[in-house]
């Protein structure tokens, strides 16, 4: 861990969800892990923002170039079941966005707001949810 104030801790069957206006290329760049990071350095811009390492196998991400509904972003990403899509839509205010980021097996431990992707991603919540995969 490289931050004294990490955003989350690893806990099975919890999920954190972000929505925003990063297009597909910007989201790819935000999550890009170019390699070469030292032992106490972030592996991506996302890693820098959350303040600790994460398992990239536990990330679902979807970006599009033009805003679509949250439900459409979920559909494009293959998010299921419908109850999970409903929860994401409800927590987001069912707005339109360009990006969706889901981190499985992670529980938020910082209650204060944090800036993600220079303010272009917003955490809409963290809740218990059966994860589709675990360690």
pLDDT tens per residue, the chain (135 residues)?
566 789 999 999 999 999 999 999 999 999 998 887 766 778 899 999 999 888 889 999 999 999 999 999 999 999 999 999 999 999 999 899 999 999 999 999 987 788 899 999 999 999 999 988 766
What is the DSSP code string of 39-90? TTS-SSHHHHHHTS---GGGEEEEEEEEEEEHHHHHHHHT---HHHHHHHHH
Would you kindly state where each structural domain of the chain is located, as residue ranges? 8-128
Give the whole-angstrom CA distance, residue 35 versus residue 91: 34
Q: What global pTM score does this model have?
A: 0.92
């Amino acid at each position: 861990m490289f931050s004294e104030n990490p955003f989350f801790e690893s806990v099975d069957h919890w999920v954190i969800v972000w929505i925003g206006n990063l297009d597909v290329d910007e989201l790819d760049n935000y999550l890009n892990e170019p390699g070469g990071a030292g032992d106490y350095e972030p592996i991506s811009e996302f890693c820098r923002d959350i303040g600790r390492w994460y398992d990239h196998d536990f990330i679902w991400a979807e970006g599009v170039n033009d805003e679509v509904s949250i439900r459409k972003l979920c559909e494009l990403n293959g998010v299921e079941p419908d109850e999970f899509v409903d929860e994401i839509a409800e927590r987001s205010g069912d707005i339109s966005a360009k990006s969706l980021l889901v981190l499985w097996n992670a529980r938020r431990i910082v209650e204060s707001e944090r800036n993600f992707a220079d303010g272009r991603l917003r955490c809409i919540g963290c809740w218990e949810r059966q994860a589709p995969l675990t360690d």
